[in-house]
Structure 1
Amino acid sequence: MGWGRSRKSLAMVALGQVLSLLITGTGFTSSLLAQRGIDAPTAQAWSNYILLALIYGGLVVYRRKKIEVRTS
């Protein structure tokens, strides 16, 4: 196994851990808000999906290959 492949694997594990931390934080804040009488699960889920779209959308745009135009 090469160093590049190991780095990719470690990066994937790290991203998974960050995602787990965000999901845990959402559950924690949901319970705190529910204790105070605020019930807004849609708003909290929406913010998670926006963050995921920004992070993974940014990765897709960053890794995209440039379009090559051939002229005759």
Structure 2
Amino acid sequence: MSRSSWWRNHEGILTTFYPLFLSQIVSFVRALISFASSLVVNLGANTPLSLSFFTYTALTLVYGGIMIYRRQKLQIPWYWYALIGFADVQGSFLVNKAFQYSSITSVTILDCWTIAWVMILMWLILGTRYSLWQFFGTAVCLGGLGLVLLSDAKASDGSGTCLFPKCLFRS
């Protein structure tokens, strides 16, 4: 069997696992960014906005370059992109600022709620319909959130910071 016929026979598998592989790379990079943010804060630097500078610069260079290369026009007026970008920068600022007041585990727990809240808000505001697979994916994320929550509660029994009831009411 030649190599090209193997690819043709297994194209469905590859189209399924390629996006999954890419999403795992994105998750790994996000974990590295969170670790780096926590490390910078632990070293005493107070730079929550500049921690995101390279991320936004890379996004601008990559996607701006792709749009220029393809000679695409903007889908919506530029000021909507500016407004959404401003909101995203503020969110990133607050996440990076949270590392000064909490542990990396607690910040990750709060960050994991994003997927569930976006689904709820999009359902309420835009009336978006979701498939069972999307609900399943959200359930997996919330299951991971529960595991991180248990890990944080167990780790904070001795010392450290925790955002949840067992730690909040400790005297």
TMscore range, shorter length: 0.5 to 0.7
Larger relative contact order, structure 1 or 2 (CA cutoff 8 Å, min sep 6): 2
TM-score normalised to structure 1 length: 0.60
- The SS at the match of 1:44 is coil
Q: Which residue among 22, 46, 54 is the counterpart of 1:39?
A: 46
Q: How many pairs are equivalent?
A: 58
Q: Which residue among 16, 20, 27 is the counterpart of 1:9?
A: 16
1:25 aligns with 2:32: yes
TM-score normalised to structure 2 length: 0.29
Determine the structure 2 residue equivalent to 1:70: none
Structure 1 segments of 4+ aligned residues over 3 angstroms from their partners: 49-53
Segments of 5+ residues of structure 2 without an aligned counterpart are 1-8, 71-171
Q: Quick one: percent identity of the two aligned structures?
A: 21
**Aligned amino acid, residue 28 of structure 2:** L
Find the aligned partners of 2:50 and 2:17 in 1 and give their Cα distance.
32
- The SS at the match of 1:40 is coil
**Aligned amino acid, residue 49 of structure 2:** T
